[in-house]
Chains A and B, each alone.
Chain A
Amino acid sequence: MSVVAVRSAARRRWTLPRIGAELGMLALAAIFLFPFYVFLTVALKTPAELARSPLSVPTDPALANFTEAWQRGDLGTAMVNSVVVTSLSVALLVACGSLAAYVLARRGTRLGYGMYLLFLLGLMIPLQLGMVPLYQLMRDLNLLQTYTSLIIFEIGHQLPLAVFLYAGFLRALPRDYEEAARVDGAGSLAVFRRIVFPLLRPVTGTVVILSAINIWNDFLTPLLYVGGSPQQTLPVAIFAFRGEFASQWQVIFAGMGIAIVPILVVYFLLQKYIIKGFASGIKG
């Protein structure tokens, strides 16, 4: 598979094997995307049409499914909740994570390295082990059914990923600028804010993308903390919705469609960065 040779040859002409490969991959993709076809067509059908011809393209798109899902599922509220929880968690995560990684990457001491490993341990420890004690703690502090409980949890839960990404980037970052600023008499925090943090922009992008998607999609802990309350996030609302609408699949699918629109929009806008972020191989 000599890439260069194949590429330049391919640019020249459409050979028969090449057309075959293109069509073969497209056929594979079509099979792979069949669930999305089901998703879209079911959401646009009336119950009668769904029963009559489950696999066909809807003849008269039933947009009523979407309005019903939106109103009865109170998805607007859930979407606002998801936006609030995700954005506040990510903002605080970026602030705490970058600061912590700065210390850990610049301190070469045994203590600094030990702390770094302690954070990395969080990438492996299943959250199940601390789940019950943390739930009790949140309950005793009267934080259940609040944004605060979820935001605190998400920050702590995503920190190992943020610290790992930031520390890796910082180690490769030359110190000349910071040192020059120090000579000019700037304090540690000022150096970080004005010099270091702006230089971290590429990795901040990765941290924001990965943690935002993880937090937006999170289900188990939000179910425990805010399930059944007006603060519930989208995945929890969809879960409740499924129970409520039982076998009205067309409404359930319309609701799920509404819930994934924000992710799909962001995906198509930031595709390159998202794929690059995930290619770095971390998912919390």
Chain B
Amino acid sequence: MTLTLSRPAVDGGPPATRRRARRARVPYLMLVPALLFYAFVVLWPTLQGAGYAFTDWAGRSETPGFVGLDNFTELFSAPAARSALRNTLVIAVSTTIVQTLVGLALALALHSALASRNLLRTMFFAPALLPPVIIGFLWQYILTPAGPLNDALGAVGLGGLAQNWLGDSSVALASVIAVIIWQNAGLTMVIYLAGLEGVPPELHEAATMDGAGRWQRLRHVTLPLLVPATTIALSLTLIGSLKLFDQVYVMTGGGPGYATETLSVVMYKEAFVSGRYGYSTAIALVLTMIVFAFALLQLRGLRRFEVQQ
């Protein structure tokens, strides 16, 4: 998600009047079909949702009553929602950091002369394409107490590390995070590989002639040139992991207890199991605020980083 926020220069060169006379304008009418779909699916429901967050709305027959900030007070005191808030932040931060590092390492390793590099790229990227529901069930089975992971650990003499990966509340969240990273590390990898393609080999040659070693070249030539790719990878992972639903819902349903609850999962359960529409949209509004806050934070952080470079 590389958002180019600066307004693109459309006119330049000949005086605007002359150009305008020569160029008929593209009619706004052509925008209408897209705008209708977008307004119907995203804009209007989102605005409605933001409004319902301040009501006790509970379904079609009920008239929503304004309750002020009650939903938010409840959200910050109810154990499920509090746990979800904490887990969502933990998942987002840890997934983003680890996945970016793993993806970068894979990209650096596979942007080399390895004979098997194309095969390996194909393999590492494959999980990112598969439905999260299927990935969730696959890992749910692998992580059962008598499942393949514990069997495999036993087979290589590491039986002592065996866990009830999804059933023990002290490791369940870490297991979920590991599955997410396993699925999406390949995505970060291909973003970095695209970035590495753009690093001119001459720069490396020049640095080598100046006596720079492997690490120095990585540190002072490659990494600074990967800042744009890092921006893309970070925002993609961050926003995706904040909204995380599918894998958690199918693997643990938020359990054991509230150990792996996320805001998306709690929101879904409050809305479609408990029928508390007002409260559930309040949870969604908090999630939205968090997404926007992280996006702003990242934008500012990266700008500062780019200035320093």
Query: Which A160-206 residues sit within 8 Å CB-CB of chain B?
Result: 160, 163, 168, 171, 175, 179, 182, 188-189, 192
Give the residues in chain B near A280, CB-CB below 8 Å. 194
User: Could you mark each residue 214-244 of chain B with 1 if its beta carbon is under 8 Å from any beta carbon of chain A, else 0?
Assistant: 1001100010000001001100100110110
CA distance A33 to B130 in the complex (A): 14
Does B201 lie within 8 Å of A103, measured CB to CB?
no
CA distance A188 to B30 in the complex (A): 9
23 A-B pairs (CB sep. < 8 Å): A1-B214, A1-B222, A2-B201, A2-B204, A2-B217, A4-B205, A21-B112, A35-B127, A102-B30, A108-B10, A113-B8, A126-B291, A128-B264, A129-B45, A131-B284, A152-B40, A157-B41, A182-B23, A189-B30, A267-B122, A267-B129, A278-B190, A279-B193
Out of B3, B132, B204, which one reaches A219, CB within 8 Å?
A: B132
Out of B44, B264, B277, B291, which one reaches A132, CB within 8 Å?
A: B277
Interface size on B (CB < 8 Å)? 115
Does A242 lie within 8 Å of B7, measured CB to CB?
no
CA distance A224 to B263 in the complex (A): 18
CA distance A137 to B49 in the complex (A): 12
Determine how close the nearest CB of chain B comes to the CB of A40; give it in whole angstroms: 11
Does A156 lie within 8 Å of B201, measured CB to CB?
no
User: Could you mark each residue 122-166 of chain B with 1 if its beta carbon is under 8 Å from any beta carbon of chain A, else 0?
Assistant: 111111111111100111011000111001100100000000000
Out of A55, A157, A239, which one reaches B148, CB within 8 Å?
A: A55
Residues of A within 8 A of B (CB): 1-7, 9-11, 18, 21-22, 25-26, 29, 32-36, 38-39, 42, 54-55, 95-97, 99-100, 102-104, 106-108, 113, 115, 117-120, 122-134, 136-137, 139-140, 152-153, 155-157, 159-160, 163, 168, 171, 175, 179, 182, 188-189, 192, 213, 216-217, 219-220, 224, 234-235, 238-239, 242, 249, 252-253, 256, 259-260, 263-264, 267, 271, 274-276, 278-283
User: Could you mark each residue 182-223 of chain B with 1 if its beta carbon is under 8 Å from any beta carbon of chain A, else 0?
Assistant: 100001001101100000010011011000001001100010
- Given A39-B138, A259-B131, A278-B191, list of 9 further CB < 8 A pairs? A1-B214, A4-B204, A6-B112, A38-B141, A129-B287, A136-B60, A152-B41, A275-B190, A278-B125
Give the residues in chain B near A39, CB-CB below 8 Å. 138
Does A182 lie within 8 Å of B204, measured CB to CB?
no
Out of B60, B116, B204, B233, which one reaches A3, CB within 8 Å?
A: B204
CA distance A238 to B51 in the complex (A): 35
Determine how close the nearest CB of chain A comes to the CB of B238; give it in whole angstroms: 10
Stretch from B70-78, B167-175, B267-275 contacting the other chain: B267-275
CA distance A18 to B116 in the complex (A): 12
